[in-house]
Structure 1
Amino acid sequence: MALDIVDLRAFYAGPLGQIARRAVGRAIIGLWPDCRRQRVVGLGFATPYLPLIGGEAERVIAFMPAAQGVVNWPSRGLSASALVEPTLLPLPTASVDRMLVVHALEETESPEDLLEEASRVLSPGGRLILVAPNRRGLWARMDTTPFGHGRPFSRSQLEKLMRGAMFSPENWAEALYVPPLRRALFLRSAPAWEKVGAGLSLPFAGVHVIDATKQFHRRAPLRATRRSFAFRPILLPQPSPSARQPHSVTKTPSSG
């Protein structure tokens, strides 16, 4: 069952959500330090992170899956959020420069179709940041956070999915090394956990953060050519029948 928008908002309003926003947001800013004059789309529940990168963008839109629900965003001014089907985005082909996908891939029934649709709306050379739960991390094992719902992924699984959708992963980062516990000790020491985990490249980070570029051309797979057989009549020479010779009657001499 997909997460509800009310639960997502409540999580990011709490202490663990604030830690997640800072840790994951730091990784996103490190990959995309400049989005000036870019058309940016957030897919899933990306609104906690869109203000970090969309300040000088040409346009920023927040698309939220129909199964999740939608809220008005931003809180002031005209709304830039919409309820969509993640595999059928209401955008023309090659109309977006950058896309941020958070709380979407792990919740969809078809990750391949979601990434294919993201590839469709991105312009050639456009960039995508994908935030997905790490199957080896503690955050994917506890359902007290949104990252503990849906399907977690390994790095090799994400790389295979992205290459299949015409994306070339360029940069990899991890975040959320701190255990997802609401105890004051872990909340206060979260920055130290992130610094040590990233410095030692520890394998139990809570999420993968991948920066990928859309490829210009898809390599055509080699497929065996199916032969079609046409049935044509073949005329073979037939021997002409010879005229039958009448049998000669031999008279035997009568005795007597």
Structure 2
Amino acid sequence: MDVIDLRDFYGRPLGRVAQHHIARRVEQIWPDVRGLNVLGLGFATPYLAPFVGKAERTIGLMPARQGVMQWPANGKCLTGLVDERELPLPDESMDRVLLVHGLEASESKRGLLRQIWRVLAPGGRLLIVVPNRRGLWARREATPFGHGQPFSRSQITQLLRESMFSPSDWEVALFVPPFDWRPLLRSASAWERAGHMLWPRFSGVIMVEATKQIYAATPLPASRKMKSRVRAIAPLPTPAPAPARAVLPEDGD
């Protein structure tokens, strides 16, 4: 979905309900951002408003495939259009990164996560919101969560570890069925409470907070290791002895 589709979704009653319940969980995970630099990636602007004025700096970057829109509507624009594989930010410049409507639609998931790893400061936190493979929202194409690749908890864990992140906290949200039926939406809070207690595995989205592994190293491929070993232990040929030079008699001998 492009930026216009995403904007229109969050302008509908169902989108406002989704925004409300996901934003509550985001604020519970990050209750205090004073003095921190906060980056929103993907289409994270519906969830960045609570951080403006509290964080030291709040910006939103949107991938080129998706498009970009001005945010906030009034005042200085805090958004930009970027290549997700080359974020235009200095190393270790962000303390919090919120990734929404980004990972599931990315064509280079590991490349995106490595860029986030680069710009995230030591001790910084990454919070990812992705569609739950088991939930109803991933099966409903009328919402943004029904597009791209949904994830299970084990899948997102493996992807994070391969990208040098360690999952540290988990949350779930969106248990109300994804339909624009007003009587259903009015009871969304009751659905959320019941879902957390009775069927947490079937939430609409999975939210995972992760920290960067500072001392992780990319292992050398096995083929390169073997070649290096062969070069290290291969004996060098012994130089052949120089041929004996003939001694010519001098004049008078």
Q: TM-score, normalised by structure 2?
A: 0.88
Q: Select between 125-134 and 191-200 the one with higher mean Cα deviation.
A: 191-200
3-state secondary structure, aligned to 2:230: coil
Letter in 2 for 1:185: P
The equivalent of 2:237 in structure 1 is 232
User: Counterparts of 2:68 and 2:218 in 1: how far apart (Å)?
Assistant: 38
Alignment coverage as a number of residue pairs:
234
Aligned match for 1:154, one of 138, 152, 155? 152
Q: Distance in 1 between matches of 2:235 and 2:153?
A: 49
Decide whether the 8 Å contact of 1:33 with 1:53 is kept in 2.
no
For residue 78 of structure 1, report the CA deviation from its aligned partner: 1.1
Amino acid at match of 1:48: P
Alignment of 1:50 with 2:48, yes or no, is yes
Superposition misfits of 4+ residues, deviation over 4 angstroms = 222-225, 233-236
Whole-angstrom distance in 2 between the partners of 1:41 and 1:220: 26
Give the Cα–Cα distance (whole angstroms) in 1 for the partners of residues 184 and 84 of structure 2: 35
In structure 1, what residue type is equivalent to 2:33? C
CA contact (8 A) 1:139 1:206 kept: yes
Aligned partners of 1:29 and 1:53 also within 8 Å: no
2: distance between equivalents of 1:232 and 1:201?
70
Q: Any gaps of 5 or more consecutive residues in structure 2?
A: 242-253
Deviation at 1:110, TM superposition (A): 1.6
How far is the alpha carbon of 1:235 from its aligned partner? 6.0
The SS at the match of 1:135 is coil
* Alignment TM-score, normalising by the size of structure 1: 0.87
Identify the structure with the greater helix proportion. Answer: 2
Measured against aligned partners, the alpha-carbon deviations of 1:84-107 in whole angstroms (never above 9, x if no partner) come to 011110001111111000000011
Map residues 117-132 of structure 1 onto 2, 5 A cutoff.
117-132=115-130
Structure 1 residues 97 and 142: alpha-carbon distance in aligned structure 2, compared to 1, 3 A threshold: same
Q: Distance in 1 between matches of 2:93 and 2:200?
A: 38
Q: Which runs of 5+ in 1 are unaligned?
A: 237-256
1:23 is paired with a residue of what secondary structure?
Answer: helix
Q: Using the alignment, how far apart are the partners of 1:113 and 1:8 within structure 2? A: 23
Larger Rg: 1
Could you tell me whether the CA contact under 8 Å between 1:45 and 1:64 is conserved in 2? Answer: yes
How many percent of aligned residue pairs carry the same amino acid? 50
Question: Which amino acid in 1 is paired with 2:89?
Answer: L
